[in-house]
Amino acid sequence: MADAIQGKGHCLCGAITINASTMDKNVGACHCGMCRRWSGGPLLAVDCGTDVSFEGKENITVYNSSEWAERGFCNQCGSHLFYRLKENQQYIMPVGLFEDQSSFEFDHQVFIDNKPAYYHFGNETRDMTEAEVFAKYAPPSE
């Protein structure tokens, strides 16, 4: 990651502590139906790569949300912890989990064509449609 930073954070109740060694400073919004259902709105998240460690792992429950990704949450307080790509174990994590918010920059949105009309972000961002996301990130079907 070109703009890698380190991040430390925790879930709402503190049962899980997160250390991300090489996370991106760029925050994105996901407007897909699953993320909106999971978080109650757009998921504001940051790419934390694969070098992520957790203290309190016994408090993490993982939900297999698709063939290519899974979602983790704290089984004590319900905090959403990660969206993880199965193939390379890449973590996309809610930005609100991290203690120091000063380095983050909101710069992209995905599944922009799935965004409901009732909200709009004023930031100028790079936007990708559902088709563009699948073309770029989905593993090839066999």
Question: Residue 9: which of 46, 41, 38, 35 has the closest Cα?
Answer: 46
Mean pLDDT of 125-137: 91
Domain definitions of the chain by residue range: 4-135
Pull the structure tokens for residue 108. Answer: 């992209």
List the CATH code of the domain at 4-135: 2.170.150.70
What would the pLDDT profile of 92-121 be if each residue is shown by its tens digit?
Answer: 999 999 999 999 999 999 999 999 999 999
Residue 2 has pLDDT above 70, yes or no: no
Mean pLDDT of 61-89: 96
Q: How far apart are CA 97 and CA 123, in angstroms?
A: 22
Q: How many CB atoms lie within 10 A of CB 81?
A: 24
Distances (CA, A) of 12 to 9, 74, 80: 10, 9, 9
- Pick left, alpha or beta for residue 111 (phi over 0 → left; psi -120 to 50 → alpha; otherwise beta): left
Pull the structure tokens for residue 100. Answer: 């120091």
* 99 Cβ contact partners less than 8 Å away, ≥ 6 residues apart: 7, 8, 9, 10
This prediction's pTM: 0.90
Backbone angles phi, psi at 40, to 5 degrees: 85, 5
Pull the structure tokens for residue 93. Answer: 């994590």
